[in-house]
Amino acid sequence: MPQGREDLAVAGAVSRAAVGGVDVVIHSPEVGDIEGLKRFNTALRTAFPDWHSTLEELVAEADRVAERWTGHGTQHGEFQGIPAAGRAVAVPGVVFYRVRDGRITEFRGSFDVFSLLGQLGALPVPAQ
């Protein structure tokens, strides 16, 4: 996964070549399609300017690649309606790719949304 801000449009997901390809298929509940992926990652990098990802595991076989990662960052801007509170987060996620002719043709990814919301203080605290 890309480190730092050098690739804002794809911030931790799909290579520049795949983003430019009109035939890439996105299967991701958080973003929907390639334009949604770009919007989501722009919002993520705006709210978490220090966002970076750590590759935890990578497995490849035939035309498939599986990636397990953890994203880290500190919220300094609003993110999907959640006001900035300076909280640091560590969020696990997975991505599965299909590759053809050296290009990503299919992307299926997800991350732990509830973990992110909990770390940002956006989930109700259970009564004791």
Is position 27 within any domain?
yes
Q: Spell out the per-residue pLDDT of the chain, length 128, in tens.
A: 344 444 433 434 444 445 445 567 777 766 777 778 788 889 999 999 999 999 999 999 999 999 999 999 999 999 999 999 999 999 999 999 888 887 888 888 889 999 999 999 998 877 77
Helix (H, G, I), strand (E, B), or coil: what is residue 59? strand
Closest to 12 (Cα-Cα) out of 65, 52, 56, 66: 52
- Kindly report the length of the chain: 128
* pTM attached to this predicted model: 0.76
In terms of residue numbers, what domain contains 108? 16-119
Is position 124 within any domain?
no
Is position 128 within any domain?
no
Residue 23 sits in a domain of what CATH number? 3.10.450.50
Closest to 119 (Cα-Cα) out of 76, 86, 87: 87
Question: How many structural domains does the chain have?
Answer: 1
